[in-house]
Amino acid sequence: MAEVAEAVLRVVGVLAAFLVLPLVVGQTEHKVMAHMQGRLGPMYAGGFHGWAQLVADGVKFVQKEDVTPAAADRRVFRLAPGVALVPYLVAMVAIPLAPGVVGADLDAGLLFVLAASAVGVLGTLMAGWSSANKYALLGGLRTAAQLLSYELPIVLAASSVAMAAGTLSLTGIVRAWEPWWLVWQAPALFCFVVAGVAELARPPFDMPVADSEIVFGPYTEYTGLRFAFFLLSEYAGIVVLAALTAVLFLGGWRGPADDVLGWLWTLVKTGVVALLVIWVRVAWPRLREDQLQSLAWKALVPVTLFQLALTGVVVVMTA
Amino acid sequence: MSDERAHGATAHGATAHGGTGHSGTGHGHGRTSQGGALPGLLKGLAVTARTLVTPAHTAEYPDVQPSLPPRSRGVIALLEENCTVCMLCARECPDWCIYIDSHKETLPATTEGGRERQRNVLDRFDIDFSLCMYCGICIEVCPFDALHWSPEFEYAELDIRDLLHGRERLGQWMPTVPPPPAADPGAAEPKEVAAAGRPARPARAARPAGAAGAGGSTRSAGTAGPAGARPARPARPARPATDQPATDQPATDEPDPS
């Protein structure tokens, strides 16, 4: 009975994090982006500086009509938002917040999280293919190209950390982490964040949804709640990427007084990475499609391969 | 500026690469380059960070009223007491958005045997703000300062026909008319102030000839030059009850030939 209660508690905790953190990141993006552009952002919803803006947006999306195009592949079209959103919930299960505070402490947690979050992109592909819209199709193809290019640097960078820690378990990686890894694994950290942002199709890598050329890419035909799911999955993706970066490269819960404040350190590091993702969106222009591919294959993949070699050499020499 | 630089650098690198396939140019774009793109990217981050910590200039209008400059052209206010129904404003209005109706009232004479006077009474003074283009000509042209600019601007309506505002509404805006701003330091004195500050004219002599000569001598003492040599003006003859033609006026200013 106690086991069941604990499992329920963990699931509820993960679900709560999944429902709250993306909205926090989204609201932060609203406000930070506004102030970076000399605006105020939402100021009314909820009273205090528009804190409930995303709740209000959600209510609005629920009220909108759920349109399925006549020519669309109906079942795939309707399933796609779920496929985009749920994998991030699944991925969150394995990310540790503090020692012992994790949805499920998997031995191959890193593999699990990377595999689950890669499925999320599949939802976008499904949307692009099933919409029966040439813009959606173009965006879907761009998403596919981007997924192929950037999944490799992500996996290589993550495997570098796994090699250094000697384990695939995320809690194990955090336990093995040492501050000097910040220097040692710096190229991998850089490539991981860049490739992660690219895989989320966030600016400056938002070619798949480039609204000035292909409307909104794979999401062109979506309305109402299904569209909101795609938006939510983008922010859930930021949370997963930021939390994973914090756990893999920034030492997760490690920090001063981490036996008490461990959860806070994880959240702070996750927040910093998420803030960086927002900041980059505001500051930089969009990369062209060929530039995207060049960056992945000519810069990120070689750097991560070099990092992998470096990690291997250091691990062998220190072991 | 920083964006342009980044664009330029990346575009150049990509085209060079596409044309020749040279591996060296591939480093010209992306964040990993050491060339022109990286300073541009850093500059972009710096600009946005600086803007982030700078307070926004947003005017939170419905919550915070804007501080409008003096002479703001918000709405036209009417001071009905000053209006003589001369119709100048309505005639000068470029798009004819002022509607004035009036009738004449006859006032009984105030003295025994005096003349009855006629007075214009304003019946209607409407301004159609859906037509008004806020040129201010009506205000400029009003000889009696019956029209004024008020800075009030919140009179939007849901129906365009409700923008025709009558004299009661125009009068309600009168208390919001700000006092005229002070003149610039060193500016010339306004004419009416200068006129009020001048010493009063000496009392005109009731009788012509000898008495008038005494009056003239005091005046010439005050003002030097040929003006002092002018003979004293005779007393103005009492006006007849009927209106005199205007050409009669200058004759009284001429020196009396007798």
Dist CA A57 CA A224 (whole Å):
10
Mean pLDDT of A237-266: 87
pLDDT-derived band at B61 (thresholds 50, 70, 90) equals: confident
Q: Which chain B residues touch A280 with a CB distance below 8 Å?
A: 45
Dist CA B232 CA B253 (whole Å):
10
pLDDT-derived band at B35 (thresholds 50, 70, 90) equals: low
Mean pLDDT rounded to a whole number for chain B: 74
CA-nearest residue of chain B to A298? Answer: B26
Would the CB atoms of A285 and B26 count as touching at under 8 Å?
no
pLDDT-derived band at B21 (thresholds 50, 70, 90) equals: very low
Nearest CA of chain A to the CA of B73: how many Å? 27
In which region does residue A119 sit, left (phi positive, over 0), alpha (psi from -120 to 50) or beta (all else)?
alpha
pLDDT of residue B33: 45
Which tokens sit at B183? 């003149």
Interface confidence, given as ipTM, is 0.77
Q: Which chain B residues touch A38 with a CB distance below 8 Å?
A: 51, 54, 56-58
Would the CB atoms of B27 and A298 count as touching at under 8 Å?
yes
- pTM (2 decimals)? 0.70
pLDDT of residue B235: 59
Mean pLDDT of B112-134: 90
Q: Which chain B residues touch A299 with a CB distance below 8 Å?
A: 27, 30-32
pLDDT of residue B70: 76
* pLDDT tens, residue by residue, A105-118: 888 889 999 888 88
Q: What percent of chain A has pLDDT over 90?
A: 31
Strand ranges across the sheet with B164-165? B98-107, B117-128, B164-165
* pLDDT tens, residue by residue, B184-225: 888 888 887 888 888 878 877 666 555 444 444 444 444 444
CA angle, A113 then A117 then A121, to 5°: 165
Nearest CA of chain A to the CA of B66: how many Å? 17
Mean pLDDT of A66-78: 88
Would the CB atoms of B26 and A279 count as touching at under 8 Å?
no
Q: Taking a contact as any Cβ pair under 8 Å apart, which residues of chain B between 41 and 100 contact chain A?
A: 41, 44-45, 47-49, 51-52, 54, 56-58, 60
pLDDT of residue B238: 56
pLDDT of residue A182: 87
Dist CA B71 CA B90 (whole Å):
22
pLDDT above 90: residue A272: yes
Dist CA A161 CA A299 (whole Å):
19
pLDDT-derived band at A43 (thresholds 50, 70, 90) equals: confident
pLDDT above 70: residue A150: yes
User: What phi, psi does A237 have (nearest 5°)?
Assistant: -65, -40
Size of interface A-B (CB pairs under 8 A): 67
Would the CB atoms of B52 and A284 count as touching at under 8 Å?
no
pLDDT of residue A48: 87
pLDDT above 70: residue A190: yes
Using the Cα atoms of residue B73, residue B75, residue B80 and residue B86 in order, give the sign of their dihedral.
Answer: positive
Comparing CB atoms, the residue among B10, B47, B56 nearest residue A291 is: B10
Residue A95 near residue A173, CB atoms below 8 Å: no
Would the CB atoms of A283 and B6 count as touching at under 8 Å?
no
CA-nearest residue of chain B to A289? Answer: B14
Would the CB atoms of B14 and A291 count as touching at under 8 Å?
yes
Helix axes A186-199, A109-130, angle to 10 degrees: 30
Which has more pLDDT, A133 or B232?
Answer: A133
Nearest CA of chain B to the CA of A39: how many Å? 5
pLDDT of residue A121: 85
B14 at A interface, C-beta within 8 A: yes
* pLDDT tens, residue by residue, A157-173: 999 999 888 888 888 88
pLDDT-derived band at B14 (thresholds 50, 70, 90) equals: very low
Comparing CB atoms, the residue among B3, B41, B56 nearest residue A40 is: B56
Would the CB atoms of B31 and A40 count as touching at under 8 Å?
no
SS (H, E, C) A68-106: CCCCCCHHHHHHHHHHHHHHHHHHHHCCCCECCECCCCC
B145 at A interface, C-beta within 8 A: no
Lowest mean pLDDT among A48-62, B1-15, B65-79, B94-108: B1-15
Mean pLDDT of A67-95: 89
CA-nearest residue of chain A to B7? Answer: A285
Q: Which chain B residues touch A284 with a CB distance below 8 Å?
A: 3, 6, 41, 44
CA-nearest residue of chain A to B10? Answer: A291
pLDDT of residue A285: 87
* DSSP string for A234-250: HHHHHHHHHHHHHHHHS
Mean pLDDT of A46-75: 88
* pLDDT tens, residue by residue, B228-255: 445 555 556 555 555 444 444 444 444 4
pLDDT-derived band at B226 (thresholds 50, 70, 90) equals: very low
pLDDT above 70: residue B27: no
pLDDT of residue A176: 87
* pLDDT tens, residue by residue, B101-115: 999 999 888 888 888
* pLDDT tens, residue by residue, B150-163: 998 888 899 999 99
Using the Cα atoms of residue A221, residue A225, residue A229 and residue A232 in order, give the sign of their dihedral.
Answer: positive
Mean pLDDT of A40-59: 88
pLDDT-derived band at B133 (thresholds 50, 70, 90) equals: very high
Q: Where are the beta strands (DSSP E) in chain B?
A: 75-78, 98-107, 117-128, 147-150, 164-165
pLDDT-derived band at B78 (thresholds 50, 70, 90) equals: very high
Contacts of A33 (CB under 8 A, 6+ apart): A41, A278, A281, A282
Mean pLDDT rounded to a whole number for chain A: 88
SS (H, E, C) B149-210: EECCCCCCCCCHHHHEECHHHHHHCHHHCCCCCCCCCCCCCCHHHHHHHCCCCCCCCCCCCH
* Chain A residues in contact with chain B using a Cβ-Cβ cutoff of 8 Å: 32, 34-40, 43, 194, 279-280, 282-285, 287-288, 290-291, 294-295, 298-299, 303
pLDDT-derived band at A278 (thresholds 50, 70, 90) equals: very high
Distances in Å between the Cα of A266 and the Cα atoms of A104, A107, A144, A271 are: 17, 20, 32, 8
Mean pLDDT of A86-96: 89
Determine which of B48, B57, B64 to mutate to test the interface with A (most A C-beta atoms within 10 Å).
B48
